[in-house]
Amino acid sequence: MRCRVCLLLAIVFSLSFSSRPLQAEHEGKVQILLLGDSTTEGSVPRRHVPKGPHLEDVIRELLAAEKDLPPTNVINLGLSGEYIQRLLESGRYEKAASKLPGIDFVLIRYGLNDNARRENFAENFPKDYHELIERLRKDHPRASLIVMTVIPYGGEEVAQRLNKLNADVAKAEGLRLFDIYPRYAAELKRGPDMLNYRRFPLEKIPENRREFVKPFVVPGANPSVEVLDNRLDAHFGHLPGWFGDRHPNLAGYHVIGDETAKFLTPLIREKFKK
């Protein structure tokens, strides 16, 4: 009798989700799209730990732990070095994002590269952002668009200036603002270098230690030493710039993923409630 009741409940639970108005690439899954730069993509952690879990996996798995939510598909289209103008004018948006079927949520996180590479940044960054939002609304009219702040990177003053512009865009467009900055900054108080990997030019490693670091060298025109954690800090932490790269390591992406899942959970519940 108990087994029959359990089976009946499982069928009812399944039907309740399949009858919801999901726009799904895969039937019955909430589609979540991530747009952003290298701090979204995570190319270096992917190189060292190809199987992850990476940002999109962390978000998906944490959402799956909320048993009342439908399953999700998280699509990470972050790209290193990208800024909004390049996303749009390169054709990458049109090719990779515009025709994705069934998108339900889009999380957008830009500003760091825009600040460094976009001329007349203070004026053009909001303009570019509004253009991207217009394109998204046209291509994914039923999607909930969410503007994100940047993570701590390049100094607090810079980040706060960028995040003010992000907040202004969200307000002007009537969109939710997902402020990831406070959680990431709070986690950094546990250790200022615990959430970033180490990437350091091989040429700056003392010659008598270059044989020692061979297992950690990424070859190329400008070979570098790369390590996702603190295992080499004891040897090279005294070198100027050893901690200079602030891109997230796997721990950093777990912080971003955890906070993102917490942010999305009530939104998914509300959007797809019975």
Query: Could you report the per-residue pLDDT of 198-252, keeping only the tens digit for each?
Result: 999 999 999 999 999 999 999 999 999 999 999 999 999 999 999 999 999 999 9
pTM: 0.89
Which pLDDT score, from 0 to 100, does residue 4 have? 47
Q: What CATH number should be reported for the domain whose range is 20-192+249-271? A: 3.40.50.1110
* In the chain, where the domains are located: 20-192+249-271, 198-244
224-227 and 72-76 as β-strands: parallel, antiparallel, unpaired? unpaired
Does position 150 have pLDDT exceeding 50, yes or no?
A: yes
Residue owning tokens 């029959």: 4
Query: Could you report the per-residue pLDDT of 257-273, keeping only the tens digit for each?
Result: 999 999 999 999 998 87
10 Å Cβ neighbour count for 273?
A: 9
Q: Which helix (H) or strand (E) is 31 found in, with range?
A: strand 30-36
Coil, helix or strand for 108? strand
Does position 64 have pLDDT exceeding 50, yes or no?
A: yes
